[in-house]
């Protein structure tokens, strides 16, 4: 498959022009005259190890969610040894905003899509879902065993729940203003947790976004072989 056919499909799903101004979605490495793709590696983050895996598995292209500006391997990616072999493309905040993108996949994997309501906010998704804290704890642990909860007001029930994949703690107040009594996200900082006026679940940055890889696979469709990088959260329980 022609590599620009692949990127066109992704951009039809998640238009590049919708990315945040600070973002670097799109081509990370576009290898000139290396256009035909037969094997694609999907990953959340392009690390040195992921590049090595892609090379060992004879992949022509890496498609990631996170852009290269977060990555320490950029110099290695553009070195002479890798340039002839790997195209790298990412869809980050444009995929976060897209219908069916990163946040929507959390809700879908929890089996709660039918409860989703229309809210005009680029990153947040909100559902009307009456449940107890205990029941929702168990549900979230199915997709993230390392889930943490902040419950400053000692709530026992939830009725309206906001979701934001990745690092979405900056939207806690917006979620509250939209009527949510809870937000599910990742990468929560101490003082943000301490000050939160609503229940917050930190399911982990990795755990909240790794679910997007099957969406990439579905978007690309037939025509190339898809492999998934062997990657995991950098955090380990002790």
Instruction: Give, in order, the Cα–Cα distances in Å from 4 to each of 8, 128, 167.
Output: 6, 40, 30
Res 236 pLDDT > 90: no
- For the domain made up of 102-205, give the CATH fold: 3.40.1390
Q: Which residues contact 235 (CB under 8 A, 6 or more apart)?
A: 146, 204, 206
pLDDT in tens, 13-29: 999 999 999 999 999 99
Res 83 pLDDT > 50: no
Residue 88 CA to residue 78 CA, distance in Å, equals 10
Instruction: Give, in order, the Cα–Cα distances in Å from 84 to each of 62, 94, 132, 194, 237.
Output: 13, 28, 54, 49, 39
**What average pLDDT does this structure show over 116-122?**
86
**What average pLDDT does this structure show over 204-229?**
97
pLDDT at res. 185:
97
State what percent of residues in the chain have pLDDT above 70.
Answer: 93
**What average pLDDT does this structure show over 45-55?**
94
DSSP string, 138-174: HHHHTT-TT-EEE-TT---EEEEEEEEEEE-GGGHHH
**Would you place residue 77 in the very low, low, confident or very high pLDDT band (cuts 50, 70, 90)?**
low
**Would you place residue 69 in the very low, low, confident or very high pLDDT band (cuts 50, 70, 90)?**
low
pLDDT at res. 120:
73
State what percent of residues in the chain have pLDDT above 90.
Answer: 85
Res 9 pLDDT > 90: yes
pLDDT in tens, 178-213: 999 999 999 899 999 999 999 999 999 999 999 999
CATH 3.40.1390.30 in the chain, residues? 3-96, 102-205
pLDDT at res. 238:
84
**What average pLDDT does this structure show over 45-58?**
94
**Would you place residue 68 in the very low, low, confident or very high pLDDT band (cuts 50, 70, 90)?**
confident
pLDDT at res. 183:
98
pLDDT at res. 71:
47
The architecture (CATH level 2) of 3-96 comes to 3-Layer(aba) Sandwich (3.40)
Res 74 pLDDT > 70: no
Residue 236 Cα to chain centre, angstroms: 20
pTM score of the predicted model: 0.91
**What average pLDDT does this structure show over 127-148?**
96
């Amino acid at each position: 498959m022609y590599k620009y056919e692949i990127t066109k499909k992704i951009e039809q799903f998640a238009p590049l022009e919708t990315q945040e101004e600070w973002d670097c979605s799109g081509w990370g490495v576009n290898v000139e005259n290396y256009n035909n793709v037969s094997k694609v590696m999907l990953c959340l983050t392009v690390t040195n190890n992921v590049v090595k895996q892609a090379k060992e598995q004879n992949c022509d292209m890496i498609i990631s969610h996170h852009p290269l500006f977060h990555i320490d391997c950029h110099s290695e990616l553009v070195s002479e040894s890798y340039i002839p072999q790997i195209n790298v493309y990412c869809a980050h905040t444009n995929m976060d905003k897209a219908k069916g993108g990163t946040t929507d996949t959390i809700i879908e994997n929890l089996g709660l899509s039918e409860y989703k309501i229309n809210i005009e906010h680029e990153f947040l998704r909100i559902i009307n879902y009456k449940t107890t804290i205990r029941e929702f704890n168990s549900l979230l642990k199915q997709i993230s065993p390392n889930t943490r909860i902040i419950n400053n007001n000692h709530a026992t029930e939830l009725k309206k729940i906001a979701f934001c994949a990745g690092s979405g703690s900056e939207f806690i107040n917006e979620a509250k203003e939209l009527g949510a009594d809870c937000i599910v996200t990742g990468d929560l900082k101490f003082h943000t947790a301490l000050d939160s006026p609503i229940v917050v679940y930190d399911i982990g940055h990795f755990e909240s976004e790794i679910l997007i890889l099957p969406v990439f696979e579905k978007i690309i469709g037939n025509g190339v072989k898809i492999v998934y990088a062997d990657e995991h959260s950098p955090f380990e329980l002790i």
